[in-house]
Amino acid sequence: MLVAFNLYCQLPFGKLDQRNPDIIRFAAMIGRTPSALAMKLVNIASLDPVITDSGRKGLIGASKLDRAMWDEMQQDWSKFALESQMMIDALVSQSNASFIEPLVTEEIDDDVEINYSAESKIAQTQIRVGQHFFRRAVMSAYAGRCCITGLAHPTLLVASHIIPWRSDKDNRLNPRNGLCLSTLHDKAFDKGLITVTPDYTIKISSSARQLADNRFASEWLIGLEGKKITLPEKFSPSMGFIEWHNEHIFLGD
C-alpha cells in the first residue's frame, strides 16, 4: 500500500500503465505483477477529486483500505511522505537495483533554507527524504513543466512552496502546498514579487513593475500580469495556501 500510494504521488496520471518501467521494477520488488500494481494505482486515482472533477476516471475497485489510506495521507503528509519514501528507498537498496533512475531529478529546492547544525543525523536524513518526496510529487503533478512558462528542463525547475517551509511545519510535504516553477519565478514568488490569486491568475507587485524599463524583466515578469497558471493533473494548489501567500508574502501595490 505504501509503495502504491508513493508511486501515485510520483507518477503522472497518464503513466499509470503496466508498461511503465518504474511500475515494472517496483512490482517485481514487492512480488506483484505490473498489471496488478498499475490497477492499484488507477484505483487510487478514482479517489482523487482533481482527477474525477476533470472528467478523467480511475477504476471503481478502490477498497475501504484504499480510502482509509487516502484520508490518512491527506491528514498527515509528513508522516506519509517519510514512511512511504523510506519504504521505497529500502526496497531499492535491498534489491541492489542501482540501475533504477530516480523518477525525477534529485536537486533540492533553493527556497528551503535549513540550519542542520542543531539536527541529529536521523533528523537530517528525514528532512532530506521528505524534501525528495515533495519535489517528486509536485513535479509529477505538473508533468515536469513550470506552471507559468511551460519550461520543461528539470534542472531549471523548482518544487516551490506556497507557504514557505519555515512557516508551516504541518504542510511542508503537502504537494497541494507546491507549485512547479522555473528557478527565476520561484525566487520571484518566494520574495513576493509575484503571486497567484485564488482564481489562478498571476499578479505582479508594484516593486517588480518598477523594472519596466528592463526588457528581460518586462517580458518574463511584468508581462505575466493577468495570465493564468497551468493547473496540475493532481494535487491542485490549496486556496487557503494561496490566500496566505497573497496576504503574508506578496508585496502588493
pLDDT digits (tens, 9 = 90+) for 194-227: 999 999 999 999 988 888 888 888 888 889 999 9
Q: pLDDT at position 39, please? A: 93
The sign of the CA dihedral 155, 161, 162, 166 is negative
pLDDT digits (tens, 9 = 90+) for 83-130: 998 888 888 888 765 444 444 444 444 445 555 454 556 667 777 888
Gap between the Cα atoms of 151 and 241, Å rounded? 24
Length of the chain: 253
Gap between the Cα atoms of 144 and 230, Å rounded? 12
Q: Which three cell numbers stand for residue 63?
A: 477498497
How distant, in Å, are the alpha carbons of 18, 44, 47, 200 from that of 39?
A: 8, 9, 13, 32
Counting Cα atoms < 13 Å in the Cβ hemisphere of 68 gives: 4
Q: pLDDT at position 126, please? A: 77
Mean pLDDT rounded to a whole number for the chain: 86
The sign of the CA dihedral 137, 141, 143, 147 is negative
Angle formed at CA 105 by CA 103 and CA 107, multiple of 5 degrees: 140
Residue 35 has pLDDT above 70, yes or no: yes
Q: pLDDT at position 158, please? A: 95
Q: Which stretches does DSSP call E strand in the chain?
A: 157-161, 178-182, 194-196, 202-204
Buried b vs exposed e over 43-74: b needs ≥16 C-beta within 10 Å?
Answer: bbbbbbebbeeeeeebeeebeeebeebbeebe
Gap between the Cα atoms of 200 and 196, Å rounded? 6
Q: Name the β-bridge partners of 180.
A: 159
Q: pLDDT at position 154, please? A: 92
pLDDT band at 18 (very low <50, low <70, confident <90, very high): very high
Q: Which three cell numbers stand for residue 236?
A: 491542485
Gap between the Cα atoms of 20 and 15, Å rounded? 6
